[in-house]
């Protein structure tokens, strides 16, 4: 449930940033976006192990 809320919140923030024409808080390059995904995956994996 938390993962779904996180995805929906991320989509909402991204959509609002685009709609209001303000800079997105996400990195503008594919490598930067992959870094964010990798950090999130590591965070979720560590939560499962703990």
* 6-50: pLDDT as tens digits: 778 877 887 787 888 888 777 778 887 887 888 888 888 888 887
Q: Which of 21, 42, 23, 39 is nearest to 31 (CA)?
A: 39
Q: Are 26 and 20 in contact (CB under 8 A)?
A: no
Domain count, the chain: 1
Domain holding 28, by residue range, is 2-49
Residue 11 confidence (pLDDT) = 78
pTM of this structure: 0.52
Q: How much is the pLDDT for 27?
A: 72
User: What is the model's pLDDT at position 40?
Assistant: 82
């Amino acid at each position: 449930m938390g993962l779904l809320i996180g995805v929906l919140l991320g989509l909402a923030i991204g959509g609002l940033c685009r709609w209001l024409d303000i800079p997105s808080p996400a990195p503008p390059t594919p490598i930067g976006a992959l870094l964010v995904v990798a950090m999130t995956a590591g965070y979720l994996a560590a939560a499962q192990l703990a």
